[in-house]
Chain A
Amino acid sequence: MSSTIYQPVRTPPPALRGSPLPAARVAKVLSGAEGASQSGIWVGIFAITMSFAALTSALFVRQGSGADWTHIALPSVLYANTLALLLSSATLQMARRAITAVPPVEPRAVPVGLGWLMATLGLGSVFVAGQFEAWRQLAAQGLYLATNPNSSFYYVLTAMHGLHVLAGIVALALVIGRIAASRATSRKSTFEATATYWHFMGILWIYLLLVLRTKL
């Protein structure tokens, strides 16, 4: 038991042990809860997608509405940031393989998994820092939020995406904290939901990069 991070779904966590519910019922409740985290995160992803779709359509309308649409050169650091974010998805998958394997592949699965998770967190932080650097480079060119519509959209899109990535970093830190404390109630659902969200942040960024490159 000590080497698994979370307990398999069919065993009730301590809080539910000795509860009057029959075991099968507990399992059903738990699988409902597991499912809720997953649907919750997918529903959230749906909403985020909708927000960015709205911003994209705003970008198209704005491009056609004024004669002031120009072009800005994207800061080159963006490509390094992209690489960091993509790598972080890969390290997260490595962590997932180590941690969620049942039965655990090797006794050191937990520390290995934790290591990969820390790497993910590190790469995520590098991405956010890199996005700040990109803003600094733009500002150095005299391009601020209100300079022209292109820079406005650049700042809005990257800031909104960055905020979502920061939320992901907080979630990752929580997951790492739980696993490091080796809490038996640490649940697969939280980890899986965080992983889904994190991968989505990567996909969303690729999409945004394409929009920024082709339209701005």
Chain B
Amino acid sequence: MEETSAQQAHVHAPPEGFLRKYVFSLDHKVIGKQYYALGLLAVCMGMVLSWLMRFHLVWPTTRIPGLELLSKAGAPGGIITPEYYLSLLTMHGTLMVFFVLTNAPFAAFGNYFLPIQIGAEDMAFPRFNMMSFWTTLVAFLVLILAFVIPDGPPISGWTSYAPLSAVGKDAGPGMGWGMNLWAISIAIFCIGSLLGALNFIATTLDLRAKGMTLMRMPICTWAWFITSCIALLAFAVLLPACILLILDRMAGTSFFIPSGLVISDRLQPHSGGSPLLWQHLFWFFGHPEVYIAILPSMGIVSHILINSMRKPLLSARVIIYSMMSIGFLSWMVWGHHMFVSGMNPFSSLLFSFPTLTITIPATIMTLIWLGSLYGANIRINSASLFALGFISMFVSGGVSGFFLAQPSIDIVLHATYFVVGHFHMVMGVASIFGVFAGTYFWFGKMTGRMMNETLGQLHFWLTFIGTYCIFMPFHYLGLVGNIRRYSAFVNDFTGPLMPLHKFITIAALGTGAAQLIFIFNLIYSRYKGAPAPENPWSGTTLEWSIPSPPPWNNFGGKHPIVYHDPYQYDVKGSKGDYIMQDSPEPSAG
């Protein structure tokens, strides 16, 4: 505790040597980039897994060359077995939700920019910060270890429902050590995330520069702060849940396994546990996790839109209050994932009500974005395009949420592609669009070089159109009754849907290939991009008051003093059309 405290952060010397500077770094900026790199690696892996699944769905008998090298049992002769399809599905979900959607918008950008935006030299506890990244990396390695063990990855889905997740090998291939690795990995991930969240909260509360009142923090700082409050409580619940799951699996306890359970013709030596208990604990984490994924992107997008429109939002405060109420309500809605779990129908009604209520702050935010955009002379560039794309995805994916929130409709749509389409758009793609927007916006600050605009806009249009082509038809498939998680469609009535599935697969392969443009742009711009000025977008917040890239202690030993609300744009009479937060110039209002 002593070593990790904030005071050291303010007096530690610039790091020397490669290891201290780039590997075991205490610098929040390096840690932010490490999280980003981990997220990028995980998203590439997750995307390849989704390609394999999509390919197998529509060309089930076509050999995928080289796949048998990944798993002899899972893909004999390069053709995926139904069980291995579930393994791929589980790993896709786990990688994406934990290591991409939690890491990239929250841990990566939050680490890099939260301290800078509040005028601090580093996080409150730099050593905890380093530990949280390395813990997360260990979690990642433990998870992907499941690919190489003979058992293979688990087939439980990313939600790992008990009792099948709790009984071991009898539940199918990958449910032995593969599942153990999953549970251990997620438990480790929880510890890393808890350390990270603790750091974010303490930093925001205590290390703000003089004049940086809470309401003067940029919207994205608010988003990271609210997200860390959610993450703190959510992962604090998932951690004991994982421990209980591990004990059921490895120590013979019966928390989640009922008595008299026969699996694979074998009576399980357990008694009296409650499978629903796992679902309650898991979704108590799992629903707030959705907001852990989306809130940071909401913040980033608001931040970028304001800058691109050159005028404040209709009300930044209402955006912040909406994010708070979303954060608060996120604790009361977990049961909407369990409408068909056999839970008391009256509970369904109870969970449905706050679920519908949560659409109110989400709608308010959308209306503020759209209302602010009305009549705005927005600068079109890769960052603002992805920010606009975020709103589009959020609305398109969110509208289906109104339907799913109602138990009577959910009974029909549950476990169909409708749900898959819904959450991929509203939580997955929308959040990733926020990450893309943030990358194009902040890349210059992070590396000292600007990203290529032409490639960026090309990347946007291909991705934007591509994701709609992939996920919009999912809603239709779901309405028709196409069940998710099946590796092949053998029923007659799904036969006519096959051309649509083929279209989706081709769109998925194409959109995935379009991401190569982004990766190329990242690497090319890192070395050959135009040098980034200090404030390329004429921004007002503190990250634009320091060199690109910032020195190791951010403000070069100086301590900024903040005079204004974060978004002083469209100010008549000032030199530009904006006033920096740390400029003593009087503001218009």
By a beta-carbon cutoff of 8 Å, the part of chain A in contact with chain B is: 13, 15-16, 19-21, 25, 28-30, 32-37, 39-40, 43-44, 46-48, 50-52, 54-55, 57-58, 61-62, 64-69, 145-146, 149, 152, 156, 160, 171, 174-175, 178, 187, 189-190, 193-194
Q: A65-B258, A194-B1 are known contacts. Are A32 and B207 too (CB-CB below 8 A)?
A: yes
B6 touches A66 (CB 8 A): no
Would you call B202 an interface residue if the criterion is a C-beta within 8 Å of the partner chain's C-beta atoms? yes
Return chain B residues, CB-CB under 8 Å to A178: 2
Would you call B522 an interface residue if the criterion is a C-beta within 8 Å of the partner chain's C-beta atoms? no
Return chain A residues, CB-CB under 8 Å to B241: 54, 58
Return chain A residues, CB-CB under 8 Å to B253: 145-146, 149, 152
B244 touches A149 (CB 8 A): no
Would you call B239 an interface residue if the criterion is a C-beta within 8 Å of the partner chain's C-beta atoms? yes
Nearest neighbor of B559 in chain A, beta-carbon distance: A25
B272 touches A67 (CB 8 A): yes
Nearest neighbor of A41 in chain B, beta-carbon distance: B1
Interface of B (DSSP majority class): helix
Nearest neighbor of B557 in chain A, beta-carbon distance: A20
Interface string of B10-42 (1 = CB under 8 A from A): 110000000000000000000000000000000
One of B229-237, B347-355, B384-392, B459-467 contacting the partner: B229-237
Would you call B281 an interface residue if the criterion is a C-beta within 8 Å of the partner chain's C-beta atoms? yes
Shortest distance in angstroms between B366's beta carbon and chain A's nearest beta carbon? 31
Q: A68-B259, A146-B252 are known contacts. Are A40 and B202 too (CB-CB below 8 A)?
A: yes
Docked complex Cα distance between A145 and B246 (Å): 13
Shortest distance in angstroms between B380's beta carbon and chain A's nearest beta carbon? 40
Q: A36-B203, A40-B124 are known contacts. Are A48 and B236 too (CB-CB below 8 A)?
A: yes
Other CB < 8 Å A-B pairs besides A32-B6, A58-B281, 7 of them? A19-B557, A32-B206, A36-B6, A36-B205, A54-B281, A61-B280, A149-B254
Nearest neighbor of B228 in chain A, beta-carbon distance: A43
Q: A20-B557, A156-B244, A174-B2 are known contacts. Are A61 and B205 too (CB-CB below 8 A)?
A: no
Interface of A (DSSP majority class): helix
B273 touches A47 (CB 8 A): no
A61 touches B277 (CB 8 A): yes
Return chain B residues, CB-CB under 8 Å to A51: 236-237, 239-240
Shortest distance in angstroms between A49's beta carbon and chain B's nearest beta carbon? 8
B198 touches A55 (CB 8 A): no
B10 touches A16 (CB 8 A): yes
Q: How many A-B residue pairs have CB under 8 A?
A: 160
Docked complex Cα distance between A34 and B5 (Å): 9
Would you call B55 an interface residue if the criterion is a C-beta within 8 Å of the partner chain's C-beta atoms? no
Would you call B7 an interface residue if the criterion is a C-beta within 8 Å of the partner chain's C-beta atoms? yes
Q: A47-B198, A146-B251, A174-B2 are known contacts. Are A40 and B274 too (CB-CB below 8 A)?
A: no
Nearest neighbor of A186 in chain B, beta-carbon distance: B2
Shortest distance in angstroms between B582's beta carbon and chain A's nearest beta carbon? 14
Interface string of B205-222 (1 = CB under 8 A from A): 111101000000000000
Return chain B residues, CB-CB under 8 Å to A35: 205-206
**Cβ 8 A contact of A43, one of B11, B198, B251:** B198
B236 touches A39 (CB 8 A): no
B205 touches A66 (CB 8 A): no
Shortest distance in angstroms between B58's beta carbon and chain A's nearest beta carbon? 42
A43 touches B201 (CB 8 A): yes
Docked complex Cα distance between A43 and B206 (Å): 12
Docked complex Cα distance between A44 and B255 (Å): 26
Docked complex Cα distance between A193 and B251 (Å): 35
Would you call B360 an interface residue if the criterion is a C-beta within 8 Å of the partner chain's C-beta atoms? no
B2 touches A43 (CB 8 A): no
Q: A13-B7, A44-B198 are known contacts. Are A65 and B277 too (CB-CB below 8 A)?
A: yes
Shortest distance in angstroms between B421's beta carbon and chain A's nearest beta carbon? 32
Docked complex Cα distance between A129 and B199 (Å): 32
B1 touches A193 (CB 8 A): yes
Return chain B residues, CB-CB under 8 Å to A46: 232-233
- Count chain B residues whose beta carbon lies closer than 8 angstroms to a beta carbon of A: 51
Would you call B243 an interface residue if the criterion is a C-beta within 8 Å of the partner chain's C-beta atoms? yes
Shortest distance in angstroms between A172's beta carbon and chain B's nearest beta carbon? 10
B273 touches A66 (CB 8 A): yes
Would you call B498 an interface residue if the criterion is a C-beta within 8 Å of the partner chain's C-beta atoms? no
B2 touches A58 (CB 8 A): no
Near A by CB (< 8 A), chain B positions 231-290 give 232-233, 235-237, 239-241, 243-244, 247, 251-255, 258-259, 271-274, 276-277, 280-281, 284
Return chain B residues, CB-CB under 8 Å to A69: 272
B9 touches A33 (CB 8 A): yes
The list of the 5 closest CB pairs from A to B, nearest first, reads: A66-B272, A65-B274, A33-B6, A146-B252, A36-B124
Nearest neighbor of B190 in chain A, beta-carbon distance: A51
Shortest distance in angstroms between A92's beta carbon and chain B's nearest beta carbon? 15
Return chain A residues, CB-CB under 8 Å to B206: 32-33, 35-36, 39
Docked complex Cα distance between A40 and B236 (Å): 15
Return chain A residues, CB-CB under 8 Å to B277: 58, 61-62, 65
Docked complex Cα distance between A55 and B125 (Å): 28
Return chain A residues, CB-CB under 8 Å to B413: none
Would you call B194 an interface residue if the criterion is a C-beta within 8 Å of the partner chain's C-beta atoms? yes
Q: A36-B203, A39-B205 are known contacts. Are A68 and B9 too (CB-CB below 8 A)?
A: no
Nearest neighbor of B272 in chain A, beta-carbon distance: A66
Q: Could you say which of B7, B207, B210, B277 has the most chain A C-beta atoms within 10 Å of its C-beta?
A: B7
Docked complex Cα distance between A40 and B255 (Å): 32
Shortest distance in angstroms between B183's beta carbon and chain A's nearest beta carbon? 15
Return chain B residues, CB-CB under 8 Å to A34: 7
Return chain A residues, CB-CB under 8 Å to B281: 54, 58
Docked complex Cα distance between A163 and B31 (Å): 28
Q: A36-B205, A61-B274, A190-B5 are known contacts. Are A66 and B247 too (CB-CB below 8 A)?
A: no
Docked complex Cα distance between A170 and B239 (Å): 22
